Amino acid sequence: MYRQYEMLELSFFGPEPAGSSDVNVDLTACFSLQGSEDQAVTVKGFYAGDGKYKVRFLPLKPGCWYYQVKGVAEAEGALDVKAAAQGNHGPVRAEGTHLKFDDGTWFFSVGTTIYALAHQSKELTEETFASLEKAPFNKVRMCLFPKHYDYNKNDPEYFPFKVLPGETYVYENLPPFALDYSKKPVWDVNHPDFRFWDSFEEKLIRLGKMGIQVDLILFHPYDRWNFSTLSQADNLTYLDYLTRRFAAFPHIWWSMANEYDLCGAKSLEDWEEIEKAIAAGDPYHHLLSNHNCFPLYDFSHEDITHCSCQLRTMNMVPELQKKYQKPVLYDECVYEGNLPQTWGSISAAEMVNRFWKVTATGGYCTHGEVFLDPDETNLDEAVLWWAKGGKLKGQSPERIAFLKNLMEEIGKPLSPNLTGFGKILAEAGSMNEAQIEQAVSGLPTGIQNLMRAAFSMDPVNLTRHVDAEYDFSGKTDDDSVFLSYYGTDCHALVEIDLPADKTFAIEIIDAWNMTREKVMEGVSGHVRVKLPGREYMAVLAVAE
């Protein structure tokens, strides 16, 4: 039975591809929905090896889909596609500054990072999937190309492409980033190694069955095999095969790179061409972004659907939402762990703290974990979740699950609810003198002076000055839910302002101890809430 939102596949047998490429095969199919003139999709098929050709299609609507296949295989027919199975909501889309499934169900992204998941032994892979079964994560960031970095230097069993005729792949134990850009890659991108793609595909399918979105990283700089120095023509050939083969997976996202700005062989013009190639090869318009190390990518591009960020300050969700009008994902906020490196040594409490800060202001956060056994003698063979998977060792996942459950109970996304210094920061640098005077008019004299003094600072220094006093607060667009999170502040009393035309129940939430206590009912307007003077507290107000 064929169902809406489930990939369907047509297979054909034929001769080996003619010419010099197993990628650029002449195989296309047009799918058209009966009774709907604007529901027609043309897709490219691909060669899967051993004389087998495949065409894949993702029906976004139920009904009778007619198809016509042309090229190395000729076929036509009709497929009866039933309505989606219960719980299958389709691909994730950007809806304004939030994420929503194709069927309109809100999606609350709770990600984790396992860069080299696809390149580990069968035993370690099984251990990783067993851990994911019990974890709260509904998105995994993972690389297609193998990764070479500290604690992660093993060769994969298979590589994406065959080696060029007359060339030999030689193992090089290089330090990270020690690439020789003059060295020509040995990979023949026109001849995929189907063993790699079949193995990779099995993992994608398993993750989809677990309800996990795959944020697939297509390029990265952590490389000793020279995949990161392929010519742009080879990059585009690789992307052509990738989108032909994977675009019909409903749970795929495209992350052009992990840390695009460290990929020294690519210019910004190259990235824009890559961006357009992915969009052109994906008729279903899956989520697409590009992840940074230092400068953020230009998320204003038409085909970019969301902001994928590496940031260490948690207060930029409102600013980025305002600038780009797109969802903001903190896909790297450093990692819970015990490494010598600063990026891998925050506590579980701080990881949870960062999740709450991002979530309360309407963004989405991604987890990572890097615990090193102090007795490990061979660091290259160490198994760290962020690189290889294995077992989760940290204390943050269960607390992230607590937050995820809360957001799913709320059932609607949050948008920033800026007050105090948070509002000042969001407006810093965007107001001229007349606008500042208009903004402060009517306020008490002391507050006017405070606002003028704040706005006299440049945005960068203002951020540094008041970041610690930032308000991490959000609300639903219909003003039915308000959430304020206080981080490492230890308040005994807080004040919140609620709409006067509704009454609310108030809960105190302890993000670390995972407790919720209802303390008020039937309140509205300006409300004072007593807190226990501990870190990691939040106040939730829900309309009655």
417 Cβ neighbours under 8 A, 6+ residues apart: 473, 474, 475, 482, 484
Q: Which of 60-69, 338-347, 456-465 has the lowest mean pLDDT?
A: 456-465
42-71 average pLDDT score: 98
How is residue 81 written in tokens? 């596609």
pLDDT at position 110: 98
Quick one: pLDDT band at residue 179, thresholds 50, 70, 90? confident
pLDDT at position 451: 80
Residues 344 and 369: beta-carbon distance below 8 Å:
no
Alpha carbon distance 339, 372 (integer Å): 7
Reduced to 3 states, what is the DSSP secondary structure of residue 237?
Answer: helix
**Mean pLDDT taken over the chain:** 94
Does position 292 have pLDDT exceeding 90, yes or no? yes
Q: Which one has a higher pLDDT value, 264 or 183? A: 264
194 Cβ neighbours under 8 A, 6+ residues apart: 48, 49, 50
66-88 average pLDDT score: 98
* 3-state SS string for 503-522: CEEEEEEECCCCEEEEEEEE
240-265 average pLDDT score: 98
pLDDT at position 468: 63
pLDDT above 70 covers a percentage of the chain that reads 99
Instruction: List the beta bridge partners of residue 505.
Output: 542
Instruction: List the beta bridge partners of residue 45.
Output: none
92 Cβ neighbours under 8 A, 6+ residues apart: 99, 100, 101, 102, 107, 109, 213, 251, 253, 287
Question: Domains (ranges, CATH) in the chain?
Answer: 2-82 (2.60.40.10), 92-160+187-415 (3.20.20.80), 426-543 (2.60.40)
Residues 470 and 425: beta-carbon distance below 8 Å:
yes
Quick one: pLDDT band at residue 465, thresholds 50, 70, 90? confident
Q: Which range is most confident: 34-43, 384-393, 421-430?
A: 384-393
420-430 average pLDDT score: 71
Residue 436 identity: I
Reduced to 3 states, what is the DSSP secondary structure of residue 200?
Answer: helix
pLDDT at position 385: 98
Backbone angles phi, psi at 456, to 5 degrees: -75, -15
Q: How many CA atoms lie within 13 A of 127 on its CB side?
A: 15
pLDDT at position 169: 81
277-296 average pLDDT score: 98
92-108 average pLDDT score: 98
Does position 18 have pLDDT exceeding 90, yes or no? no
